[in-house]
Amino acid sequence: AQTVTQSQPEMSVQEAETVTLSCTYDTSESNYYLFWYKQPPSRQMILVIRQEAYKQQNATENRFSVNFQKAAKSFSLKISDSQLGDTAMYFCAFMKWGSGGYQKVTFGTGTKLQVIP
Amino acid sequence: DGGITQSPKYLFRKEGQNVTLSCEQNLNHDAMYWYRQDPGQGLRLIYYSQIVNDFQKGDIAEGYSVSREKKESFPLTVTSAQKNPTAFYLCASNQGAPNYGYTFGSGTRLTVV
């Protein structure tokens, strides 16, 4: 079974600064996908960024980028130029490509990020 | 706009009652999922369905039931057998390609009174 670990329950960052959220996972799979989801106070889950395990290049979406280290099974999220709207719970998620096409997703326990003005 | 609608937003249940949470999507997604969210535990999979009239248990299915009679709808019933049902419930869907991840509904907060 896959496990996803987010070791930072809470973090804070000053507005306009950069912050990195860590995530490690454990799997014996070779084909999988990794995601970061954001859950703001409204509790609506929003996909922030995704990474295919077969791609060596780190994914980037505007101010959000990842550092994907496959051998170390590490998938950290970097938020640059932090904004007040980035205040949210962030979940790291692992998705394997299962038989019959079902994608079983395992989520970490989340990191609560507070952006301070 | 396409999306997932969960209702109600807040739900209160008395001890011994069954309640049903609604999840409707107009994204034409084949797969739908129910997750439970508790503080400090992330999201845990309750049930999932890949096609109409078929569904499978997730990691914490005890005390829950589902149906998938229509592609658009995947209601979750929390039965009286669920001993600790107070939680936030999220419905999700995806279109079958793994790289798209999930689209989530806005959730239902269930409280036992």
- Tell which of B99, B106, B108, B110 to mutate to test the A interface (max A CBs under 10 Å): B99
Cα nearest neighbour of B104 on chain A: A45
Considering only CB atoms, which chain A residues are within 8 Å of B94?
103
Give the pLDDT confidence score for residue A100 in this predicted structure. 59
Q: Is A110 on the interface with B (CB under 8 A)?
A: yes
Q: Which residue has the tokens 């496990």?
A: A3
Rounded distance, CA A73 to CA A4, Å?
A: 10
Considering only CB atoms, which chain B residues are within 8 Å of A37?
101, 104
Q: How confident is the model at residue B101 (pLDDT cuts 50, 70, 90)?
A: confident
- For residue A56 the two structure tokens come to 């060596």
- Give me the mean pLDDT over the B63-82 stretch: 96
Which is nearest to A82 in space by CA: A52, A60, A110, A62? A62
Residue B95 in this model has a pLDDT that exceeds 90: no
Residue B48 in this model has a pLDDT that exceeds 90: yes
Cα nearest neighbour of A42 on chain B: B106
What kind and span of H or E run contains B83?
none
Residue B96 in this model has a pLDDT that exceeds 70: no
Give the pLDDT confidence score for residue B109 in this predicted structure. 96
In terms of DSSP bridges, do strands B10-13 and B108-112 run parallel, antiparallel, or are they unpaired? parallel
Give the pLDDT confidence score for residue A98 in this predicted structure. 61
Asked if the Cβ–Cβ distance from B42 to A103 is below 8 Å, we say no
pLDDT in tens, chain A (117 residues): 789 999 999 999 999 999 999 999 999 888 889 999 999 999 999 999 999 988 889 999 999 999 999 999 999 999 999 999 999 999 999 988 766 566 778 999 999 999 999
Considering only CB atoms, which chain B residues are within 8 Å of A104?
45
Asked if the Cβ–Cβ distance from A103 to B31 is below 8 Å, we say yes
